[in-house]
Structure 1
Amino acid sequence: MKAVGRLTGWFRGRSLRSRLAVLTAAAVAVAIALSALACWFLVRDRLYQQVRNNLRNAPPVLVGPQQRLIACGDDARTALERAATAAAADPENRRNPQPNRWDVQLIAADGSICFPLSSERAIKTSPSDLSVLGTHGTTFRDGEYLDGSPAMVRRSSVTLTVDGVTGQYVQLVAEGVSDVQDSLRELAFILIGVAAGGVVLAGVAGRIVARSALKPVDRLSDAVEHIARTEEVGTTIPVHGKDEIARLSTSFNSMSTALLNSRERQTRLIADAGHELRTPLTSLRTNVDLLIRSDETGRPLPADTRTRLLGNMKAQMQELTLLIGDLLQLSRPDSPKPGQNLAVVALHEIAGRAVERARLRGPGLVFNLAVHPWYVHGDAAALERAVINLLDNAVKYSPPGGAVDVSLIDGRLTVRDHGPGIPQDELQYVFDRFWRSPSSRQLPGSGLGLSIVAQTVRDTGGEVALGPAADGGPGALASVVLPGQPDRPE
């Protein structure tokens, strides 16, 4: 287990290229080893099958005029040993055995051995040989000669007449398999050499394949290191093909582009916020300087002028407060975290409260209300802020004594004013941050209200639009569609 742990630690400590090369070489090595092993066993089975077929074709033992048997028993055993010694002493016979040459001997029922004169080598018997006596068919076993040479032995039961006595004998027919074993041994060495060479080539090929396959990863790593070193987001790498590496490269390019867009939005937001904050801060500083100078010179301002200056300062402070609140609202992530401030919200109740606040800001206006129940899943505070911003926009541009129509039917909230409306060429900018129509620059506001409305509606999964009134009359129509249902969910 410790060795396995050390090997695993070593493997994990290698580079991805090295690990891929090692795995490729290992996979090829295992495949080559299995193929070589299967080849060896297949050749062995075929060779031994050929030996068995030769033994099946061996002629039967003939007794009588055609073939004479020596005596069975101890004399035959002595003759067997003498024949085995003579065969072992003849190197030429051992080196060049004759093909299709079989050695035959018989085993009587009492275990005595009978040896035909045609046989040249004695077969070593086995206690299991007598088990086939009196049976039909043929069986094979691995055996050997008395001189130690390996052989394949065929066993069968035969009926013979020996010395005038007919009886059952076990016939052993053997064929030497030394050549077969030598061939298998040579084949094993060849396959081992081929497998070793294949492993080496697999390692080289694995290294080349790993280097080629990981080139896109190297480019990706270089791009990431470049971004980390220089903070130049937006860097992309070329994408080739449609494989996993190409998908990873595409995802990286998308992420890099998204980071660039996010940085640009942050930069633009900071620049726009600084620009919007400069005006009220400059006015505040001017008024404060004027008050300080009047006190330092001992020439106090008239009471009405001082009151007017303090009123202006209060209005500018309120404008700063609203602007900072809007900036904080916009600084939140575009999508809220799951479960963060989300609940079932009664949109009709929010619309009712927003209308009451709008009445205070436009005391001379008439609000026509047609609100039906509608429940949505979202952030109650953010939704109320969005509805209030829509109504504030309508109040700001409504003429004195005008009317504001508010309706909520089937999840569609509309706010219609009867003011000057929005020029057609400016409609595409109304939801941009800090954008204000040139004709309304003198009116209070930061240009963030409608941006907050758009962001809140998108976060809730709805849609928002602002355009001219549907009936072609004066004024603008703001429309918000939010997913929900008319009954409170259980």
Structure 2
Amino acid sequence: MSPTVPPPPLNPPRVPRRNRLTTWYRARSLRSRLAFLTAAAVAVAIALSALACWFIVERKQYDLIKQDLASAPPLPPAPAALTKLICAKTPQEALAKVQSAQIVSSDPPRFDSQVVTPDLSTVCLRSTSSKAIELLPSDRTILALDAGDSRTRTGSYTDGTPAMVKVAWYFDRETREKIVVLNALPTKPVEESLRQLALLLGGVALGGVILAGLAGRLVARSALKPVDRLSDAVEHIARTEEVGTTIPVHGEDEIARLSTSFNAMSTALANSRERQTRLIADAGHELRTPLTSLRTNVDLLIRSDDTGRPLPPATRTKLLGNMKAQMQELTVLIGDLLQLSRPDSPKPVRTLAVVAVHEIAERAVERAELRGPGLVFETATAPWYVHADAAALERAVINLLDNAVKYSPPGGTIEVRLDRGVLTVRDHGPGIPPDELPYVFDRFWRSPSSRQLPGSGLGLSIVAQSVREAGGEVSLGPAPDGGPGTLATVRLPGGPAPE
């Protein structure tokens, strides 16, 4: 019986709009994002500038109207026939009476004015008025101010036209009673101007955003050209595996630094591949000789057994001895290759141990004495401790002593000194020609004069690598006193006591 599958929810959870926007933004290319951010920044700047401009103009326009209203008199002076007041209970009724009187003024007043009793029960207009002002209950509060003081408010005419209204109260000169005087100016022209200004600013802002988007696209394309070249170079290397490809670097900005770092990485990869190729080729060349010799000796043994003509015992013993020596040479060569196959970069200090260099030197001398029984070893070592790989450092010292043993004449002397972190090994052999000194630490390099001697040409390469891993330096040169032989010098950082 199959398990019951629950039905899908009727209302699946909705992804928040912010997450959808973030997902959409991250899905865009870097060029699109840069163009979008540029356009957004310019759009915000233009929008803020447009809003600030609109509010400044709006306040300035309304301030001008207020200033005009501040200069309005209680009852503007005019001929007596034109200043006759027509009164009614409401502004609408008073305006209707004025319009029915059909009195036309040759000099229309600057302000629209009307007089109201303190209880707002009677409204009086001039006979030449063309508009009436809507009253608000708050107009009564003007009586709380001193006579002649005024208050400005927004309002409208009876026909709905917006206006700015100045409200004040005075004592009538004839009746000595309080009267409320309203003066108004229409604000519709200002609102129309502000509306047109808003449309103009909106059009400018929209055009600015479009131009900003285009400019952002152009800027992004221009700014990301080095990134495009870098991407093309990386894709070319990934496609063709041709390391060593570089791109031109212009300027000193972040993109130029990135390009420089890429060029350095590509060059390092090319050098690493070249070293690997050279190591494989050199290793194959060095392995071919002992393998060929081994195959020849094995074929000779097999042929002698197959033909029923066994080799003389002395010849067979010599042949087996040669095979053993060749196997030992192969073993040493493979060990050297494994040693050199490690990365060239030094190991982190935290993985190294405190090593007594003087003890390593003494053990290496003991082993060298077994390999050169007829040689004289003069040893003088002072305590010295370093942070290093003990096995690698001991192998480096042994390789130096093996070289000294190999090239020393019978009964010769080998001097080993260790003083304040400087280890020297001096032999009295034929020495190294000056023109060959730059190559002595190269892998598989062997002097033409010593190719008949056993060895693979990897010993000094291992010495150089091990000393570098310990943070030191190694060098080979002629004997300091001008005599025969070679002086090997190893400088190791450390101290006379373990830390």
Give the TM bin, normalised by the shorter chain: 0.7 to 0.9
For the residues of structure 2 that align with 1:84 and 1:349, how far apart are their CA atoms?
122
2:52 aligned residue: 38
- Structure 1 counterpart of 2:489: 479
In structure 2, what is the equivalent of residue 276 of structure 1? Answer: 286
The answer as to 2:222 corresponding to 1:242 is no
Map 1:295-444 → 2, pairs under 5 A = 295-336=305-346, 338=348, 341-444=351-454
Structure 1 84/14 Cα, relative in aligned 2: closer, same or farther at 3 Å?
farther
Q: Measured at CA, do residues 208 and 132 of structure 1 come closer, stay the same or move farther in structure 2, by a change above 3 Å?
A: same
Task: Provide the C-alpha distance between the structure 2 equivalents of 1:123 and 1:37, rounded to a whole number of angstroms.
Answer: 32
Cα separation, 2, equivalents of 1:164 and 1:415: 131
User: Does residue 160 of structure 1 match 2:171?
Assistant: yes
* Aligned-pair CA distance for 1:317: 0.9
**1:448 CA displacement:** 0.7
What is the CA deviation profile of residues 246-278 of structure 1, one whole-angstrom value per residue up to 9, with x for unaligned ones?
222222222222221111111111111111111
Question: Does the residue aligned with 1:165 lie in a helix, a strand or coil?
Answer: coil
**Identity across the alignment (%):** 68
Amino acid at match of 2:53: C
Spell out the pairing of 1:219-234 with structure 2 (5 A cutoff).
219-234=229-244
CA separation of 1:127/1:413 partners in 2, compared to 1, >3 Å: closer, same or farther?
farther
Shift of 1:299: 2.1
Distance 1:98 1:219 in 2: 76
8 Å contact 1:462–1:481 — kept in the other structure? yes
Structure 2: distance between partners of 1:99 and 1:239:
77
Q: Which residue of 1 aligns with 2:92?
A: 81
Aligned-pair distance for 1:135? Answer: 3.9
CA gap of 1:127–1:458, structure 2 versus 1, over 3 A, is: farther
CA gap 1:29/1:242 in 2 versus in 1, 3 angstroms: same
One-letter amino acid of the counterpart of residue 175, structure 1: L
Distance 1:133 1:409 in 2: 109
- The answer to whether the Cα contact below 8 Å between 2:347 and 2:469 also exists between their aligned partners in 1 is no
Pair 1:405–1:193, CA change in 2 (3 A): same
Instruction: Give the counterpart letter for 1:124 in structure 2.
Output: E
2:7 counterpart residue number: none
- 2:269 aligns with 259
In structure 1, give the amino acid aligned to 2:395: R
Question: Which whole-Å CA distance do the structure 1 matches of 2:155 and 2:167 have between them?
Answer: 11
CA distance in 2, matches of 1:267, 1:225: 23
- Let me know the Cα RMSD of the aligned residues: 3.1
- Among 132, 140, 165, which residue is 2:152 paired with? 140
- Kindly state the Cα deviation for residue 106 of structure 1 after the two structures are TM-superposed: 5.3
User: Per the alignment, do residues 163 and 275 of structure 1 end up closer, same or farther by CA in structure 2, a change over 3 Å counting?
Assistant: same
CA contact (8 A) 1:374 1:487 kept: yes
Q: Which moved more, 1:214-223 or 1:284-293?
A: 214-223
How far, CA to CA, are the matches of 1:88 and 1:429 in structure 2? 118
Contact 1:70–1:114 (CA under 8 A) maintained in structure 2 = no
**TM-score computed with the length of structure 1 as normaliser:** 0.87
Q: CA deviation at 1:155?
A: 4.5
**TM-score (normalizing by structure 2):** 0.86
**Partner Cα separation in structure 1 for residue 480 and residue 310 of structure 2:** 56
Q: Deviations over 1:345-393 (max 9, x none)?
A: 2222222222222222222222222222222222222222212212211
1:62 Cα deviation after fit: 7.5
1:286 is matched with: 296
Q: Which moved more, 1:396-405 or 1:280-289?
A: 396-405
Between the aligned partners of 1:245 and 1:215, the Cα distance in structure 2 is 10
Contact 1:104-1:174 within 8 A present in 2 as well:
no
Counterpart position of 2:72 = 58
Q: Partners of 1:2 and 1:321 in 2: how far apart?
A: 68
- Compared CA separation, residues 29 and 403, structure 1 to 2 (3 A): same
Write the deviation string for residues 16-48 of structure 1: whole angstroms up to 9, x where unpaired. 333333232222222222222222112112212
Instruction: Sort the Cα spacing of 1:132 and 1:450 in 2 relative to 1 into closer, same or farther, 3 A.
Output: farther
Confirm or deny: 8 A CA contact 2:441 2:461 kept in the other structure: yes
* CA 1:264–1:63: 2 relative to 1, 3 Å: closer
Structure 2 unmatched ranges of 5 or more:
1-14
CA distance in 1, matches of 2:98, 2:385: 107
State how far apart, in whole Å, the 1-side matches of 2:410 and 2:488 are: 20
Q: Residues of 2 paired with 1:273 and 1:86: CA distance?
A: 121
Cross-structure match for 1:20: 34
CA distance in 2, matches of 1:356, 1:22: 75
Cα 1:450–1:100 change in 2 (3 A) is farther
Code of the residue aligned with 1:404 in structure 2: it is I
Structure 1 unpaired stretches of 5+: none
Matching residue within 207, 210, 232 for 2:220: 210
Aligned to 1:124: 134
CA 419–193 in structure 1, closer or farther in 2 if over 3 Å, else same: same
Aligned residue identity for 2:322: N
- Cα offset, 1:176, TM superposition: 1.5
- Residue 150 (structure 1) aligned to one of 154, 159, 162: 162
| Counterpart contact for 2:244–2:267, Cα < 8 Å | yes
Residue 190 (structure 1) aligns with:
200
**Alignment partner of 1:370: what SS?**
strand
Q: Give the CA deviation at 1:449.
A: 1.0
- 1:330 to partner: Cα distance: 0.9
Q: Measure how far apart 1:159 and its partner are.
A: 4.5
Give distance in 2, aligned partners of 1:375 and 1:394: 24
Tell me if the contact between 2:98 and 2:125 (Cα under 8 Å) persists in the aligned partners.
Answer: no
Query: Are 1:103 and 1:175, in contact at CA under 8 Å, matched by a contact in 2?
Result: no
Count the aligned residue pairs: 476
Tell me if structure 1 keeps the 8 A contact 2:94–2:125.
no
Partners of 1:41 and 1:366 in 2: CA distance: 102
Shift of 1:120: 4.8
Look up the equivalent residue of 1:149 and give its one-letter code: T
Which residue among 20, 23, 28 is the counterpart of 1:9?
23
Deviates more, 1:111-120 or 1:20-29: 111-120
